[in-house]
Amino acid sequence: MKKLPAGSATLVLALLLTQALFAAEPKEVKRVLLLYGEGKAHPAHELTDQGIREAFRSNQLFDVQLYPEYLDSSRFSGSSHAPAVADYLRRRYAGIKIDAIITVYPSAIDFLMREKAEIFPEVPIVASQVPRLSAEKLDRSPFRHFLTGVVIGDNSTGLLDGALQLRPATKHVALVAGVAPNDVDGEQIWRNALKPYLEKLRLIDLTKLPIQEVLARVGSLPTDTIILYSTIFKDGKGVDFVPREALTLVSRAANSPVFGLYESYLGYGIVGGPLVSWQNLGKESALMALRILGGASPASLPFGGKRAYINLYDWRELKRWGIPESELPPGSEIRYTEPSLWRDYKGTIAGMIALMTVEALLIIGLVLNLRMRRRAEQALRESEGRVALAVSSAGAGLWSLDMDTGYFWTSDRALELFGFAPDELLDYEKFLRMIHPADREVVRQATQQAAQSGLLSTVDYRVVLPDGSIRWVASRGSFQQSPANGPNCLMGVSVDITGRKQAEEEIDRQRNQLAHVTRVSMVSQLASSIAHELNQPLGAILRNAEAGEMFLHDPSPDLDEIRAILADIRKDNHRAGAVIDRMRALMKQCQTERRRLDLDHLANETVILVRPDVEKRQLRLVLESDPALPPVHGDPVQLQQVLLNLLLNAMDAVGANPPERRLVTVRTQYASSGVEVIVSDTGCGISEEELLRVFEPFFTSKPNGLGMGLAISRDIIEAHGGRLWVENNVAGGTTFTFALPAAKGGEVK
Amino acid sequence: MNEPIPIVRIVDDDVSYLTAVARMLRASGFTVKTFASAAEFLARPELDVPGCVIVDLQMPELSGLDLQEALAREGQRLPVIFLSGHGDIATTVRAMRRGAEDFLTKRAPKEDLLDAVKRALDRNTCERDARAQLKALRERFTALTPREREVLHHVVQGKLNKQIAYDLGIHERTVKLHRTSITTKLGVSSTAELTKLWMEARGLDV
């Protein structure tokens, strides 16, 4: 063992010393009276007492001395009992200064409220385990300034829900309770809790009966019943009971599972559930008392008792009623399990099985490995031959690039691909110079990235051949770390893809043309709207100009008015200009131009475009836009075309409805599939069969439709790496959605 | 009677145009009130004040035609001039059939618009005058007693006093007395005048 350095030895010594010093200092003595409502053998009190003592024991501040007293109020309920006990307590504590009182059960606090002024004037009280109603009363009472408390968890609803989850077929619920005041209180709590359930469950009332009758009745309950056992301190014939002993009798005689609220019932015949923990309640009461002893005012401490439940179940009862453990809520504790080999030696058994399995797998693995190696050797020989054949027949060029020295080795075919003479000596810079200036940076970056990731993913670029013509080349490769090639060597393969690129460009061009044609046909649909939209500002300009002229005829014209007129004319001129600009953007036939753009802005612009048409057709068009939408990468003209197409379709779809049900909604949102634009209508929807065909070219449901709109729209969206789909709405009508991937990084400018 | 100044009400959701046309009409000497929607107009139409309504045909929610219909339902006779960004035949026909005063595009020449407004105001004045006259006439006839009315009915049919007396079972002298009372109350001097007045008042349910 290592020796401790001298410094830490001193530190440890100092710590020990201080601790000894603190321990030596005598703690202040505090006396706490524990006033229990029932007798000493009352099981709930036993558990409460344990909780209280545990909390006081672990406190560092005071030396707490406990004085437990038991009122036994269920057994002695006569009118002379209370004064007699009060007298007894007064005499007994005549010479002792009590610092705090903890009462347990409502009977104890009730007693104290009646007698306290005489026995323990001005001593603060923690009223533990009082029902919520009493707690609310106490909270408002004049005693509140020296009193706080802990509410007994009235978790009847929680327990009931738990029970019904375990027995979902339940139709009847039998309630068992006695006649003592505590019994009646408990019964009332249950009755209140049951009220909302009585529409579905039938209540079988077994309260206030003699025990014999209870036992007879619980043995012949209908199937699908659960029994709620409240308490029996005293049965219908006036016989006294310890509640959990009566519970055992009930549970043994019962033909249905029994449920009860309290931890102290577990093991005596209840199935379990979220139970009230007396120990936790006791602990909480003691902690409150400690804060009061430490100087806190009772009035400043709110009533506690909110978290005094624990999920406990009796294994024997679960077995008896055939309730699987998997049904229990997570975190449940199961008690009274029968000893079993698996349960007690789970770890050891599992370990052994695991060990044997591993051993068997190892043996199988070794055998397989041997066979695989033999096959691999054979396959390698074959594949080398195949690779050579494939490379030459695909016209692929091989190369390797030493990243440290810049040495660039190429096969003859690669040399030819890059446009060099057959015997030329290469380096990386020379190679870069052959690449089209617009692609040079792409290639440089891809190489650098490959140096980091170890993989050169496919990069397409143009090579300018000595005769000035362009060749498209695709290259890919990976880093090889074999010593033969040096430690930092990128190996790869390049092929000529000029043919493919030309075909792609041709497809692009055709798509553009087709898009333009459909766009123009759409614009012609909008023509009357556009005329209207232009006539508004033009009309305003005309009227303003006329008014201006008239003002000028006046011998002393109002110059301010004329200035306002001119400003308005200018404004309307801009408005008319904007209409024309929007139109021109749609009409122009241009090369695809991808840039970052805000779909929300696009949606706004498009809605403005159709607005006059919307008014004329008496529709309602609602735009629900998300202003925080991330930008996308795309061609604004083409994307607007798609949206316009969807909008015009939706407007046609609702045309047959009465005006109040002609609603078209455009929504933008950011979802998992990307930036979405959603166009919904309240039309009559599309039949299942047609739903599959709407995107087919020349499919149309309109008398004068071309049938190209949706086909070209889907083509445009897919060319943008997105998706366009259609669904029928549940409430009628159709929803078209297109989603585009969000552009990488940053907000829209 | 002191007739209030007629007001030209303009209803258009395009505020730019609304301001401009109001300016022009004010400069032309009209009293003008503007409304940015049909609902705003219908909330406080002040129908007692003479004038006319210029309304944009295409507006969100309530259109120009809706406004015209609402006025018609209330039995109002304010003349309505429709304006449209561009007129299409179907709506023009619909509007005119329902008694639109005029139908103009927003860029119609100033003279057309001013003419339309003047025509509308004239018509409104005429209609109001006619209604006022009719009202006065009705008041005159209400002064007659039931018996006098009975006699009047016979008189305008060209019957002689003797016939009337026979038909009504009264004395001829009594018929004469009634006739004098009728001509005095209605302020006419001859049977011819009486018959003319009667013709004018026809349809007034006298």
In the predicted structure, residue A710 carries a pLDDT above the cut 50: yes
Single out the residue of A629, A599, A620, A538 nearest to residue B85, CA to CA. A538
- pLDDT on residue A704: 65
- pLDDT on residue B103: 86
Interchain proximity B20–A615, CB inside 8 Å: no
Model confidence band, residue B114 (pLDDT cutoffs 50, 70, 90): very high
Question: Chain A partners of B63 at a C-beta cutoff of 8 Å?
Answer: 615, 618
Interchain proximity A539–B105, CB inside 8 Å: yes
- pLDDT on residue A547: 93
Of B26, B59, B106, the CB nearest to A539: B106
Q: Is A244 exposed, middle or buried (0-12, 13-18, 19+ CB in 10 A)?
A: buried
Question: How far does A635 lie from chain B, in Å, by closest CA?
Answer: 32
Rounded Cα distance between A721 and A725, Å, is: 14
Rounded Cα distance between A461 and A458, Å, is: 10
Contact criterion met (CB below 8 Å) for A724 and A642:
yes
Structure tokens at B12: 């258009």
Rounded Cα distance between B158 and B135, Å, is: 26
- pLDDT on residue B4: 80
Residue type at A544 in one-letter notation: N
- pLDDT on residue B53: 93
For tokens 């003209």, the residue is: A637
Mutate which of A562, A615, A620 to disrupt the B interface (most B C-beta within 10 Å)? A615
If you measure CA to CA, which chain A residue comes closest to B29?
A550
> What are the distances in angstroms from CA A495 to CA A383, A395, A473, A504?
20, 7, 6, 17
B19 has a chain A CB within 8 A of its CB = yes
Question: How far does A628 lie from chain B, in Å, by closest CA?
Answer: 29
B17 has a chain A CB within 8 A of its CB = yes
Model confidence band, residue A726 (pLDDT cutoffs 50, 70, 90): very high
CB pairs under 8 A between A and B: 82
A interface residues, B as partner, C-beta within 8 Å: 528, 531-544, 546-547, 550-551, 561, 565, 568, 571-572, 575, 612, 614-616, 618
- pLDDT on residue A14: 47
If you measure CA to CA, which chain B residue comes closest to A533?
B85
In sequence order, which ranges of A309-345 are alpha helices (DSSP H)? Answer: 315-320, 341-344
Average pLDDT over residues A734-743: 92
Model confidence band, residue A682 (pLDDT cutoffs 50, 70, 90): very high
Question: How far does B153 lie from chain A, in Å, by closest CA?
Answer: 54
Contact criterion met (CB below 8 Å) for A678 and A685:
no
If you measure CA to CA, which chain A residue comes closest to B25?
A547
In the predicted structure, residue A558 carries a pLDDT above the cut 80: yes
Threshold 0.90, pTM exceeds: no
Interchain proximity B58–A536, CB inside 8 Å: no
Mutate which of B26, B91, B107 to disrupt the A interface (most A C-beta within 10 Å)? B107
Structure tokens at A10: 């001193």
In sequence order, which ranges of A394-456 are alpha helices (DSSP H)? Answer: 412-417, 428-434, 437-453
Average pLDDT over residues A121-131: 86
Interchain proximity A618–B63, CB inside 8 Å: yes
Rounded Cα distance between B115 and B131, Å, is: 24
In the predicted structure, residue A284 carries a pLDDT above the cut 70: yes
pLDDT in tens, A57-104: 888 888 888 999 998 887 887 778 888 888 888 888 888 888 999 999
Interchain proximity B85–A539, CB inside 8 Å: yes
Interface of B with A in 96-155 (CB under 8 A): 105-107, 110
Of A402 and A680, the structure prediction assigns the larger pLDDT to: A680
In the predicted structure, residue B1 carries a pLDDT above the cut 60: no
DSSP letters spanning A347-371 = HHHHHHHHHHHHHHHHHHHHHHHHH
Rounded Cα distance between A80 and A520, Å, is: 104
If you measure CA to CA, which chain A residue comes closest to B66?
A618
- pLDDT on residue B87: 63
Residue type at A728 in one-letter notation: N
Instruction: Please give the angle made by the CA atoms of B87, B91 and B96, to the nearest 5 degrees.
Output: 100
Of B116 and A342, the structure prediction assigns the larger pLDDT to: B116
B85 has a chain A CB within 8 A of its CB = yes
Contact criterion met (CB below 8 Å) for A218 and A249:
no
Of B166 and A20, the structure prediction assigns the larger pLDDT to: B166
Interchain proximity A544–B20, CB inside 8 Å: yes
Instruction: Please give the angle made by the CA atoms of A386, A392 and A394, to the nearest 5 degrees.
Output: 95
User: Strands, DSSP E only, in A515-629?
Assistant: 595-597, 620-624
Mutate which of A533, A536, A574, A620 to disrupt the B interface (most B C-beta within 10 Å)? A536
Interchain proximity B17–A618, CB inside 8 Å: no
Question: Chain B partners of A578 at a C-beta cutoff of 8 Å?
Answer: none
In the predicted structure, residue A19 carries a pLDDT above the cut 60: no
Model confidence band, residue A333 (pLDDT cutoffs 50, 70, 90): confident
Of B40 and A17, the structure prediction assigns the larger pLDDT to: B40
Question: How far does B22 lie from chain A, in Å, by closest CA?
Answer: 9
If you measure CA to CA, which chain B residue comes closest to A527?
B86
In the predicted structure, residue A532 carries a pLDDT above the cut 50: yes
pLDDT in tens, A136-192: 888 888 888 888 998 886 678 888 888 888 888 899 999 999 998 888 888 988 898
Average pLDDT over residues A585-593: 70
**Helices B15-27 and A498-553 sit at what angle, rounded to 10 degrees?**
20
ipTM of the complex: 0.75
Average pLDDT over residues A321-341: 82
Least confident residue range of A343-352, A400-409, B83-92, B111-120: B83-92
